[in-house]
Structure 1
Amino acid sequence: MPPHPSSRVQMAREALAGRLREIRKDAGISGRELAVRCGWSESKSSRIENARTPPSDADIEAWCRACAADDQSADLIAANRQSADAHVQWRRLQRSGLRRLQESTGDLYRQTKMFRTYVSDVIPGFLQTPGYATALLSSIAQFRGTPDDVSAAVAARMRRNEVLGNGARRFSFVLEESVLRYRLCGAETMAAQLGHLLGVMNLQNVAVGILPLAAQRTVWPMPTFTIFDDTRVHADTLDAAATLTQPSQVELYSRAFERLSHGAVRGAAARSLITDALASLD
């Protein structure tokens, strides 16, 4: 099989192949012995180890079982799946614009019971007003050169965000204080956005914490991410929105969110930071 057209996916495949090779070597068995234990040809073991053939879930389970490393199979299967998922998301963003990207997460949003979101750059999508979302998505579309479907994308985001009003779901947000002051839109639009943020803080199923600029940090600022229940993480970078499903990855981001949340102020102290940001717009 030739290299995957996406360098990101190919790198993920090669990393997975490298981990499988290390597991075999740690078990002290040859590729031939592995093939015998798994009940397939030696050439198949070689193709998998050299990233020429992507393994199936069953292949990974058999490989780990043959090497007495069953405890690693869940992480490896998740890594194998998420590399393809990440590529699909990137392709959609490039070819289909921003509306379909908003709609593609609708089912996930409806299925999730607990959302945990940390943001270091913008107001969380869940909490955006139409005006703020329009300014933000317009800048993204212009920067990335995607089709101009911002109005439809904003409408899709607002429909998606209706999940916020479902009292059966819980939301926990941690924002860097700088997010309140970044000028991604005009003063009037930003004032409406900050006012909306103050209103959302009254919802019983929503918790908002803000990390003050002057606070001593135990966790450094990092890219924005959202944890869906305890099963999935979306972590944003400049070139892609990575989907992480390996249990060890979800645990790592959960630990980071817990520490970030511990340093955030809430209630009256958080409201004070927001009203200070509002006052600075004058």
Structure 2
Amino acid sequence: MSGSEPSESAKRALGTQLKELRHGADLTGVELARRCGWHKTKISKIEHGTQSPTEADIRMWATACNAEGLVSELIATSREIDQMWTDYKRRHARGMKNLQFHAMDLYASSKLIRVYESLFIPGFLQTVEYAQAQFTIHARLHGLPLDDVEDAARNRMARKRFLGTGSPIFTFLLEASALANNMGGREVMAGQLDYLEKVSSLPYVSVGIIPDGRIRSLYPGEGFYLFDESLLKQEFWSGAFQTSRPDTIAYFVRVFAALRAQAVFGSAAGVEIEAARRRLQGT
């Protein structure tokens, strides 16, 4: 993840919205601060997204700007921002092995799940050995118990029960680099590539691969999961991001469509898997 946490842009957007509210009321920052009983620097910090307003702050701001009718909408936006970002310390408080069951209800209620990954095989498509290698990296990176790795990998396999059922339908897009990044060694990767080829033939499961060297109409980016058109989830080294904002969802739907147009499927995807297998044998 480059720059700041993804929720930071949403904080700045809320600050901009509040700033426009102030301008619409023809108030200076100093006058708004006076009406709210705040120090004038608080106005600047909120408008620039460096300080999050409390719900009481939002009510006072809107009232001072004669915009009480916007309070509910602004508070709803603020609450969503608070829920957007979860750092890994908080995310893994329940333990890696228990976290694997956290989203099962979401999977069950979704009709279409779209997944893009540029660096590794998505959890739904992993073998237990590949998952164990990935969790070992996570545990060492975040100081988590290595004793939980085997259980976490085994528990991750529970989500596979949704594959091939049509509830939900899956579309996966993988960069060719996701097939090349070696997790766990040659034997683990060979098993993973075999399984990827096998799962690609399941009904209601579409696996597309964006080949290396293809002229890009859209550059590779960080992985994401789209659940219908209602929820976006992304994971980064330092934490996890999610949002239900319609404008963000619409943006990522367009991104997914652009990436899908660059992918190959079916036998052509099988050629890419075989190329990854040959590269692996050469290591």
Normalised-by-shorter TM-score class: 0.7 to 0.9
Higher helix share: 1
Q: Work out which of the residue numbers 90, 93, 107 in structure 2 matches 1:92.
A: 90
Could you tell me the TM-score, scaled by structure 2's length? Answer: 0.79
Q: TM-score, normalised by structure 1?
A: 0.79
Cα distance in 1 between the residues matched to 2:43 and 2:227: 31
CA, structure 1 residues 140+192, in 2 after alignment: closer, same or farther (shift >3 Å)?
Answer: same
Matched, 1:15 2:12: yes
Compute the displacement of 1:42 (Å).
4.4
2:95 matched to 1:80? no
Give the C-alpha shift of residue 102 in structure 1: 1.8
Distance 2:66 2:202 in 1: 52
Letter aligned with residue 18 of structure 2: R
Provide the rounded CA distance (Å) in 2 between the counterparts of 1:31 and 1:129.
59
Task: Give matches, 1:1-282, under 5 Å.
Answer: 15=12, 18-30=15-27, 42=36, 50=46, 51=51, 53-55=53-55, 73=73, 77-78=76-77, 80-87=79-86, 90-148=88-146, 149-282=148-281
Distance 1:188 1:10 in 2: 39
Q: CA deviation at 1:110?
A: 1.6
- Given that 2:132 and 2:153 are in contact with CA atoms closer than 8 Å, whether structure 1 keeps it comes out as yes
C-alpha displacement at 1:67, in angstroms? 5.1
AA aligned opposite 2:54:
P
Measured after TM superposition, the shift of residue 256 of structure 1 is 0.7
* Superimposed CA distance per residue, residues 58-106 of structure 1 (whole angstroms, 9 cap, x where no aligned partner): 959x78x965997x948x734532433523x634334333123222222
- Greater shift, 173-182 or 20-29, is seen at 20-29
Aligned partners of 1:210 and 1:157: how far apart in 2? Answer: 23
Provide the aligned length of Structure 1 versus Structure 2. Answer: 265
**Residues 26, 263 of structure 1: CA spacing in aligned structure 2 closer, same or farther, 3 A cutoff?**
farther
Q: Is the 8 A contact 2:110 2:227 kept in 1?
A: yes
Cα pair 2:7 2:241 within 8 Å, conserved: no
CA distance in 2, matches of 1:177, 1:13: 32
Kept in 1: contact 2:115–2:172 (CA 8 A):
yes
Change (3 A) 1:161 1:234: same
Identity score, percent: 29
* Equivalent position amino acid for 1:21 in 2: L
Paired with 2:101 and 2:132, the residues of 1 have a C-alpha distance of: 16
1:198 partner amino acid? E
CA 1:99–1:16 in 2, change beyond 3 Å: closer, same or farther? farther
Provide structure 2 residue ranges, at least 5 long, that are not aligned to the other structure. Answer: none
In structure 1, distance between residues paired with 2:160 and 2:264? 24
- Which residues of structure 1 form unaligned runs of 5+? 1-6, 36-40
Give the root-mean-square deviation of aligned CA atoms.
3.6
Identify the residue that residue 4 of structure 1 maps to in structure 2. Answer: none
Distance 1:48 1:100 in 2: 42
State the 1:200 CA deviation. Answer: 0.9
Distance in 2 between residues matched to 1:133 and 1:80, nearest whole Å: 34
Contact 2:208 2:260 in 1 (8 A): yes
